[in-house]
Structure 1
Amino acid sequence: MLLTISTTYQPATDLGYLLHKNPARLQSIEVAGGQAHVFYPEATAERCTAALLLDLDPIGLVRGRGGASGEGFALEQYVNDRPYVASSFLSAALSKAFGTAMNGTCKDKPGLPAQALPLAVKVAVVSAPGPDWPSRLFEPLGYEVDIETTPLDPTVPEWGDSRYYTLHLRHTGLRLQDVLTHLYVLLPVLDNDKHYYIGEHEAEKLLHRGGDWLPQHPERGFITRRYLRYLAAYVNPTLERLMEGEVSSVDSASPRMDEVESGSAEPVQQQVAESNDAMRGLAESTLQPKTSLHDQRLQQVAHEIYQLSPKRVLDLGCGEGKLLRLLLRQPKIEYILGMDVSHQALARAAQRLHLDEMPPRQRTRLDLIQGSLLYRDERLAGFDAAALVEVIEHLDPNRLAALEAVVFGQARPAHVFVTTPNADYNQLFEKLNAGEFRHDDHRFEWSRAEFAAWATAVAERHGYQVRLVGMGEEVAGVGAPSQMAVFMKKDA
């Protein structure tokens, strides 16, 4: 796959300073799956072109089990488009070859990275879900977009065009740093087949690289979902953080995304400040300000558990261990058990929590086990508190009776905390059409009345009292974005 960047800025050879690559020589870099070669087909004062040629080893991809080329049936491992199409491999190569330029630094000419340049980019070839998608992604960023179609077979024109295109982008004045960042994010979005593991670090990377422009992009939902491979655990919190950034951008003097997240910037007007405070504020003063709704839920559950001073706590559907990390900070908890049906999620939790590096005394406080909430499990008995954070909506409704029997009938923790989205609130999400769920993996989303009816019935059947709590900003008529039922055993 080949990417070229050209400029007619005078002197055009300043492109070499920006990219930190000498136009006079070929440079080769080891990257995931092969090698990247940087060279200059032309380098004059009038026009300069830098080329990045990515040479992937198809056999090496299979041996390394990289992405789609390492999965599936035997022939598919070797017959695929990975060595030829612009993808996450090219994005990673861009970061490694031009990382200094992408960060906007130039040692020899410090003022040059801020200079808007006339730039032309060619990518051969890109894969896209349709011929209109390159324009839908790049035109809102100010590019002039042209694509060259590729026929499935030139000898059989009636077969039509393939999904592969040569992409041409032109901009009359943009920082090179911005162009590289746009390519870094959007090329994997067009291709939608990542060769690396998608985790929280990828969500943070998207926010870091896209924080200045993605909140205002009309296709931000599509970009976020494709970049994070439709993984609900990361897509929704990332979109919420992007929306928070958009709320803060009502004025041209608004703080940047990173300033909003760190809490270092002053609000630009009182109305925005009050809105942000309401969105992020919870009744408990111990919660950190300016956090995503996802983190607010976790912190609110952790705070509720803290108030009980339990000794043994269950995290059912623990995922990658975010709540576990908060619970480990509570010294009164003597033992924590995290359970998830996914081995991969448990492996990521172990990595996130650095289990292999924990001091022995801390390590004895935590165990991770694989298991299902739909089957009786003696390991779940004898706990003071159990949390099911955004779990029930991922089950088919006809499976809820089995979950109820396991958690409330057999395990019977003294306290149970169940959170789930509030469907009444969905009408406030601009990009969510009527009848759609917030996540692709949700099997249902309940209104406040539906959740209250379920929680009340469960409590009555199993000898619990129940208290219903909103999570997030309360809006008249629709409630809060999420809702929680706090169950307490009557004989506790």
Structure 2
Amino acid sequence: MQLKIGTHHSPATDLGYLLSKNPDRHQSFDLPFGKAHVFYPEASPERCSVVLMVDVDPVGLVRGRGEGDGPLTQYVNDRPYTASSFLAVAIARVFSSAMSGDSKSRPELAASAIALDAEIPVLRCRGGEAKLRACFEPLGYVVETEALPLDDAFPDWGTSQYFRLRLTGTLRLADLLSHLYVLLPAIDGDKHYFIGDDEVLKLVDKAGTWLPTHPERDWIMTGYLKRRRSLVRDALAKLLNEPEEEVEAQSEGRDEGEQALERSLSLNEQRMADVERVLLASGVRSVVDLGCGEGRLLSRLLEHRQFERLLGIDVSNLSLERAADRLHLDRLPPLKRARIDLQQGSLTYRDARLTGFDAACAVEVIEHIDPQRLLAFERNVFEFAQPAVVLITTPNVEYNVRFERLEHGTLRHRDHRFEWTRAQFQEWAEGVCTRHGYRVEFLPIGPLDPALGPPTQMGVFSR
């Protein structure tokens, strides 16, 4: 695995002073899992670049580890090749002074923002290109990505979850290194060593200046700390300088706004009950819940033996953790546990895991998708996955005037990108049917207002 950092700052060879690594020398460093090598492919006043290459020792990689997902995963895996926590550790050890912002020879330059670029040939990101951009673009980078094929010899197999990444920006070298140190293992979603309280301190130390206001803060922290909820709460409390109890209360109530607004109608309960009823009546045996959140629908479906295979997909690892808790996955009887799975993923990128299901549900999901990405969601579900039945529910914006606590002209939830009238939803749904060979029936959810319609509208698509 490797990282290449370059600059056009003049003189560009000052990069060597910032890194405390002489461009004229190849240097090697021992690591617990192998060796790190530093060399400069180019070093002129106009352009200078440095490569940090990490050579993982396969024996050192296995030593002292359990079997993980199976005995072969110790020997057949992507760890020596894709950017991950191994590369993050190498950055911290080899470029420690640069990451701290220290430079005896060029202290003023170390404190200055300069033009920098970084290239990573292989990075695993299950959230796809959108998640890579969501992580790096808020930090000011121009992000270029290339999805790598599953197999060069078989292009028809499509792309993989691996990407080539290039970042360009004007910032301190210390900031670039700190961003990579935190984001690489968070995006990869795994760490090669035990995660404990010391990792919380590392996260706060390296990301305390930029992570608290990052739009993907919770997702990044969850990935970096390997979904250890107690550590995530501890880290968030330290980042925000707030008591952990208050942070936990805020976390639990993050999505309460819309639910509180609709609670007087018991609308969420009615939604789940109506979707459950339609699925039972349809006779389907397998269901994928798109944007499953905390697993409320899945917990209902799991109680019916009719549903032999259930999959929940959500972009939020934190929501998936809560779904696992709600479903008691770790305590389910083996036969029941075998019927259900939870996976992280984006709904706007083609995903082979969605194929083969009798039915798909998107309950109050599409309004969270940017309008320009709706076509990608549509193709992913109706063109590629092609379940026999698709259930989609979404708010009816016309009904909003009935919510006294909702300010006029505002949407029900701060994360909603839009809310449709009944006519707009029907127009979109009928377009989907025309484009993909489905038919649709519209059903109301909640109390029906003669003039405004129901608070929630459902489209039942079938082939």
CA distance in 2, matches of 1:64, 1:103: 31
Amino acid corresponding to residue 141 of structure 2 in structure 1: Y
Report if the CA contact (8 A) 1:426-1:432 is conserved.
no
Q: Is 1:46–2:46 an aligned residue pair?
A: yes
The match for 1:24 is 24
Amino acid corresponding to residue 117 of structure 2 in structure 1: A
Amino acid corresponding to residue 38 of structure 2 in structure 1: V
Q: Is 1:194–2:172 an aligned residue pair?
A: no
Amino acid corresponding to residue 193 of structure 1 in structure 2: D
The match for 1:166 is 164
Report if the CA contact (8 A) 2:32-2:60 is conserved.
no
Give deviations 1:414-463, integer Å, cap 9, x for gaps.
xxxxxxx77xx76753699858778835856xxxxxxxxxxxxxxxxxxx
TM-score, length of structure 1 as denominator length: 0.51
Query: Secondary structure in 2 aligned to 1:111?
Result: helix
Report if the CA contact (8 A) 1:17-1:109 is conserved.
yes
CA distance in 2, matches of 1:96, 1:234: 24
CA distance in 1, matches of 2:63, 2:212: 39
CA distance in 2, matches of 1:13, 1:148: 29
Q: Which runs of 5+ in 2 are unaligned?
A: 260-267, 269-292, 295-317, 327-463
Query: Secondary structure in 2 aligned to 1:132?
Result: helix
Report if the CA contact (8 A) 2:147-2:162 is conserved.
yes
Shift of 1:106: 0.5
Q: Is 1:236–2:220 an aligned residue pair?
A: no
Superposition pairs of residues 118-129 of structure 1, within 5 angstroms = 118-129=115-126
CA distance in 1, matches of 2:251, 2:77: 40
Aligned length: 270
Q: Is 1:7–2:7 an aligned residue pair?
A: yes
Query: Which is higher, the Rg of structure 1 or of structure 2?
Result: 1
Amino acid corresponding to residue 130 of structure 2 in structure 1: D
The match for 2:98 is 101
The match for 2:78 is 81
Query: Secondary structure in 2 aligned to 1:84?
Result: coil
The match for 1:115 is 112
The match for 2:141 is 143
The match for 2:131 is 133
CA distance in 1, matches of 2:258, 2:44: 53
The match for 2:429 is none
Shift of 1:131: 2.1
Superposition pairs of residues 77-476 of structure 1, within 5 angstroms = 77-129=74-126, 130-171=128-169, 173-242=170-239, 244=240, 261=241, 292-294=243-245, 428-429=253-254, 434=259, 440=321, 443=325
CA distance in 2, matches of 1:113, 1:224: 27
Shift of 1:58: 1.5
Give deviations 1:323-363, integer Å, cap 9, x for gaps.
xxxxxxxxxxxxxxxxxxxxxxxxxxxxxxxxxxxxxxxxx
Report if the CA contact (8 A) 2:4-2:52 is conserved.
yes
Amino acid corresponding to residue 292 of structure 1 in structure 2: P
Report if the CA contact (8 A) 1:127-1:191 is conserved.
yes
Shift of 1:208: 1.2
Identity of aligned residues (%): 46
Give deviations 1:74-128, integer Å, cap 9, x for gaps.
2221000000000000000000000000000001122121111101100111000
Report if the CA contact (8 A) 2:200-2:235 is conserved.
yes
Alpha-carbon RMSD:
2.7
CA distance in 2, matches of 1:86, 1:427: 33
Report if the CA contact (8 A) 1:40-1:49 is conserved.
yes
Inter-CA distance 74–17: structure 2 relative to 1 (3 Å threshold)? same
Give deviations 1:134-158, integer Å, cap 9, x for gaps.
1110000000001122111223222
Inter-CA distance 433–225: structure 2 relative to 1 (3 Å threshold)? farther
Query: Secondary structure in 1 aligned to 2:129?
Result: coil
Amino acid corresponding to residue 154 of structure 1 in structure 2: D
Shift of 1:73: 2.6
Query: Secondary structure in 1 aligned to 2:30?
Result: strand
CA distance in 2, matches of 1:108, 1:426: 45
Inter-CA distance 33–64: structure 2 relative to 1 (3 Å threshold)? farther
Shift of 1:132: 1.6
Query: Secondary structure in 2 aligned to 1:165?
Result: strand
The match for 2:371 is none
Amino acid corresponding to residue 164 of structure 1 in structure 2: Y
Report if the CA contact (8 A) 1:131-1:163 is conserved.
no
Inter-CA distance 236–64: structure 2 relative to 1 (3 Å threshold)? same
